[in-house]
Amino acid sequence: MEGVGREHDSSVALPVEDSGAAKDTTSASTKPTRRYPLASWVAILALATLVGVYIFSLSLKQNGMLFGLRQTNMIEKEREQPCHLPGFPQTEIPYLHFPTPNTYSRKECACTPVRFFAILSMQRSGSGWFETLLNSHENISSNGEIFSVKDRRSNVTAITQTLDKLYNLDWFSSAAKNECTAAVGLKWMLNQGLMKHHQEVVEYFNRRGVSVIFLLRRNLLQRYVSILANDYDRNTKQLNGTHKAHVHHRGQADVLAQYKPTIDTKSLIAELKRSDKLAADALVRFKKIRSIVLYYEDVVSNRTKLTDVLDFLKLPKIKLSSRHVKIHTKRLRDHIDNWTDVSNTLNGTQYQSFLNGRR
Ligand SMILES: *[C@@H]1O[C@H](CO)[C@@H](O)[C@H](O)[C@H]1NC(C)=O
Ligand SMILES: *[C@@H]1O[C@H](CO)[C@@H](O)[C@H](O)[C@H]1NC(C)=O
Ligand SMILES: *[C@@H]1O[C@H](CO)[C@@H](O)[C@H](O)[C@H]1NC(C)=O
Ligand SMILES: *[C@@H]1O[C@H](CO)[C@@H](O)[C@H](O)[C@H]1NC(C)=O
Ligand SMILES: *[C@@H]1O[C@H](CO)[C@@H](O)[C@H](O)[C@H]1NC(C)=O
Ligand SMILES: CC(=O)N[C@H]1CO[C@H](CO)[C@@H](O)[C@@H]1O
């Protein structure tokens, strides 16, 4: 609103310029005033008025244009705190935000810049674990699978409203921090309306400076085993009658890992192809968005990858931690019931390298 006020001021200030122009003209024409005093005064007055009216209308036009431009910018920035950004390179500015939540005041954090991110992933790719790691950082607030609720993704309007609320820091979840939030985001599965509305989501991410963290899985066969095992537990509730998608104790992990799914070898290749394609399509659709691509397997074997993420979010590098315990820790063959069938099916296909965990 302040910017708009200033535009008004400059048009109010115009008459000052006007009289200045008039003064210049008088001093330049001191001699003729003696011979034709009345005529020259009228001429000068008329000229000054004309010039004044011209400048005024010009400035009105310009202001009108400025208002127009400002209004589109203001849709995003209107509610943001006016903060100075000393020492931030120009290229960073689109990614820095100063949200002013509806529901509370950020107080001393008001001028802590906030970065917007979205973890784009697929089920059983380690995103639950990854998110707990991010949330162990005092300045990161990652709000979970917000779009698992169908109403929030039923149309683009609903998606936009949900994202607006999240990035305005008005979303309440256990990820809320007492510290100054410097990065806020969610995890969003590719099949939760994201690919369906990819055009509008890309446009939104672009417009609002949202950065994307892809978290994908190299070994899609291992992922498939995890999906089947998780589905099984959803029905059988092996841990004292409660379904657990993630566990915090080795003992619980071992109970869940006992189940060895029988894989339907007829549909296996089509299944792997489908998830391969989904991930590849996502990378293409979102290629214009600032992003980092992580593979679950790489993060598991090399925790320095997490430093890359903090670098990407431009946050202080600290050690991140999670209480999650890995469920499937044995060789893949020990987690599949009809292993021989599966390995025969994959032998000679593009997915053969999945068998020994090389991908
Ligand atoms: C979008 O979805 C929401 C929630 O399902 C619904 O209330 C709303 O009417 C829908 N809007 C349009 C334009 O379809
Ligand atoms: C992280 O939070 C602390 C505590 O609120 C704050 O002092 C610090 O400035 C924040 N760091 C960043 C990078 O915003
Ligand atoms: C089930 O509950 C009992 C008692 O509350 C506990 O001792 C046991 O460890 C639990 N089992 C699992 C698999 O979590
Ligand atoms: C671990 O990850 C870091 C950061 O991406 C990379 O520079 C390094 O080469 C990786 N180390 C190994 C052993 O792969
Ligand atoms: C894959 O199939 C070929 C013959 O098509 C066979 O010689 C080879 O032993 C098989 N490899 C495995 C790992 O089963
Ligand atoms: C669903 C499926 O493909 N099951 C196969 C598992 O392996 C046995 C033999 O080991 C096959 O008979 C099944 O068809």
Which ligand lies nearest the alpha carbon of 318? 2
Residue 177 lies in a domain: yes
Q: Are residues 228 and 164 in the same domain?
A: yes
Instruction: Select from 77, 102, 136 the last residue of a domain.
Output: 77
Q: Are residues 146 and 28 in the same domain?
A: no
DSSP per-residue string spanning 118-131:
EEEE-TTSSHHHHH
Q: Are residues 179 and 53 in the same domain?
A: no
Nearest CA residue ID for atom 9, ligand 6: 338
CB 204 within 8 A of CB 286: no
Q: Would you tell me how many other CB atoms lie within 10 Å of the CB of residue 313?
A: 22
For the chain, how many structural domains are there in total? 2
Q: What's the gap in Å between 158 CA and the centre of ligand 1?
A: 6
Residue 285 lies in a domain: yes
Residue 83 lies in a domain: no
Residue 359 lies in a domain: no
Beta bridge partners of 36: none
Q: Are residues 67 and 112 in the same domain?
A: no
Beta bridge partners of 242: 239
Q: Are residues 350 and 243 in the same domain?
A: yes
What pLDDT score does 66 carry? Answer: 41
Residues ≥6 apart with Cβ < 8 Å to 21? 48, 51, 52
Which ligand lies nearest the alpha carbon of 265? 6
Tokens of 347: 């032998």
Ligand 2 neighbours (beta carbon < 6 A): 112, 138-139, 179-180, 182, 315-316
Residue 85 lies in a domain: no
Tokens of 37: 């005093």
Query: How far apart, in whole angstroms, are the C-alpha atoms of residue 218 and residue 298?
Result: 9
Residue 300's alpha-carbon distances to 130, 202, 219, 286, 354, in angstroms, are: 10, 29, 13, 25, 17
Q: Are residues 247 and 339 in the same domain?
A: yes
What pLDDT score does 51 carry? Answer: 62
What pLDDT score does 113 carry? Answer: 94
Which ligand lies nearest the alpha carbon of 340? 6
Q: Are residues 224 and 343 in the same domain?
A: yes
Helix axes 37-77, 2-12, angle to 10 degrees: 180
Q: Are residues 157 and 264 in the same domain?
A: yes
Query: How far apart, in whole angstroms, are the C-alpha atoms of residue 232 and residue 238?
Result: 9
Beta strands 115-121; 210-216: pairing state: parallel
Residue 304 lies in a domain: yes
Tokens 């989904």, residue? Answer: 278
Q: Are residues 206 and 293 in the same domain?
A: yes
What pLDDT score does 359 carry? Answer: 54
Atom of ligand 5 nearest to the CA of 343: 14
Tens-binned pLDDT, residue by residue, of the chain (359 aa): 333 333 333 333 333 333 333 334 344 444 444 556 667 766 767 777 766 656 555 554 444 444 434 344 444 554 566 787 778 888 899 999 999 999 999 989 999 999 999 999 999 999 999 999 999 999 999 999 999 999 999 999 999 999 999 999 999 898 888 899 999 999 999 999 999 999 999 999 999 999 999 999 999 999 999 999 999 899 999 999 999 999 999 999 998 899 999 999 999 999 999 999 999 999 999 999 999 999 999 999 999 999 999 999 999 999 999 999 999 988 889 999 899 999 999 999 999 999 987 65
Instruction: Select from 49, 77, 105 the last residue of a domain.
Output: 77
Q: Given phi > 0 = left and psi -120 to 50 = alpha, else beta, which region is 344?
A: alpha
**What CATH number corresponds to the domain at position 160?**
3.40.50
Ligand 5 neighbours (beta carbon < 6 A): 343, 347-348
| Listed residue (221, 243, 258, 215) closest to 355, CA to CA | 221
Residue 82 lies in a domain: no
Ligand 4 neighbours (beta carbon < 6 A): 302, 304-305, 308
Q: Are residues 220 and 325 in the same domain?
A: yes
Out of 347, 356, 358, mutate this one to test ligand 5's pocket (max ligand atoms within 8 Å of CB): namely 347
Query: What's phi and psi for 315, nearest 5 deg?
Result: -115, 155
Instruction: Work out the burial of residue 104: count CB atoms within 10 Å of its CB; fewer than 13 is exposed, 13-18 middle, 19 or more buried.
Output: exposed
Residue 62: give the domain boundaries: 2-77
Alpha-helix residue ranges (DSSP H) falling in the chain? 2-12, 14-28, 32-35, 37-77, 127-135, 156-167, 198-208, 220-236, 250-257, 265-285, 296-301, 304-312, 339-346
Q: Are residues 19 and 117 in the same domain?
A: no
Q: What's the gap in Å between 252 CA and the centre of ligand 3?
A: 9
Q: Are residues 136 and 65 in the same domain?
A: no
Instruction: Select from 43, 77, 111 the last residue of a domain.
Output: 77
Residue 162 lies in a domain: yes
